A and B are shown apart, each in its own frame.
Chain A
């Protein structure tokens, strides 16, 4: 079946790195996405990774994919208060399946 799981909360100090984790169940997923949702707003695509890649780096963002364990992570370097938001991972098979979202709180 299709199920994407994330931890609900993460709290980090400004300047530290944040790591948001996600597990998925469908090994036929072709793409995996990370979306960011700021308060009162819709979802905004942050980055994505093809299922045949292990890692993708985009400025402060690093995505790691472990296909064997069906585990995806998003690392945010030098986390800022503006990074406070809910982060959703999503897997793609024939449609987009979203995780439950991780609320990241950044404190000074």
Chain B
């Protein structure tokens, strides 16, 4: 039982390049989330998927797209990376949304955009 896994752990991109961050969970959770963490700003929600087949915007969705590939996997795509997207990205999952279910976090992906 690995919990929430993310790949890659580190990535450096040039401005304008694209990439997809992968996330998978093996806890049979229905809801999955993508956050970004920036110094002094805590975690901010980018997108979430309340259940398989649905996705919704969070607080900071601009410049990102997501795909809920199946119940286990939720990917985050940067179509044209910008330096402002340099951040640490965390994926999380919970049994359901609504906050009463604990969110479990992956180890994070550190992305640098030059």
Query: Which residues of A approach B to under 8 Å, CB–CB?
Result: 4, 8, 30-31, 40-45, 48, 88, 92-96, 98-101
Contact = CB atoms under 8 A, between A and B. Distances in A.
Contacts of A93: 99
B100 A31 contact: yes
Nearest to A2: B59
B97 A43 contact: no
Interface of B: 4, 35, 40-45, 48, 58, 90, 92, 97-100, 102-108
A95 B45 contact: yes
What's the dominant secondary structure at chain B's contact region? Answer: loop
Nearest to B9: A40
Contact of B99 (A31, A41, A44): A31
A44 B100 contact: no
A2 to B, nearest CB: 9
Contacts of A100: 40-42
Given A42-B92, A43-B92, A92-B99, 7 more contacts: A40-B107, A88-B42, A94-B97, A95-B97, A98-B43, A99-B42, A100-B42
A62 B61 CA distance: 36
Contacts of A40: 107-108
Contacts of A45: 102-104
